[in-house]
Amino acid sequence: MNIQTKLSGKETEVAGLIAKGYKDVEIAKTLFISQRRVGEIVFNIKQKWGIQSRVELGIIAFEYKLIQSPLARTKS
């Protein structure tokens, strides 16, 4: 597994949403991209990291803190 490989901004967003449990259709709606594009991005992340499953992707994204805390997004 090569986690040192940098993800693009969109790949990072997708990885974070997968770690939150989002499905491809939800990711597509959230990021305003097609479901097919989401699949391509997921495939690219798996290739870069040398992993096989979406579950691995989510776990790694969580461990490497690719998920923002809901509190971090709110600005008052």
Percentage above 90 pLDDT, the chain: 72
Confidence at residue 6, expressed as pLDDT on a 0 to 100 scale: 87
Domains and CATH numbers, the chain: 9-66 (1.10.10.10)
What mean pLDDT is predicted for residues 63-76?
A: 60
Residue 2 has φ and ψ, to the nearest 5°, of -115, 80
Minimal CA–CA distance to 1: which of 62, 38, 53, 39?
53
Confidence at residue 5, expressed as pLDDT on a 0 to 100 scale: 75
Query: What average pLDDT does the structure give for the chain?
Result: 87
CB contact at 8 A, 18 and 61 = yes
Confidence band (pLDDT; 50, 70, 90) for 54? very high
CB contact at 8 A, 7 and 18 = no
Measured between alpha carbons, how far is residue 15 from residues 75, 76 in Å? 23, 27
- 76 vs 67, residue with greater confidence: 67
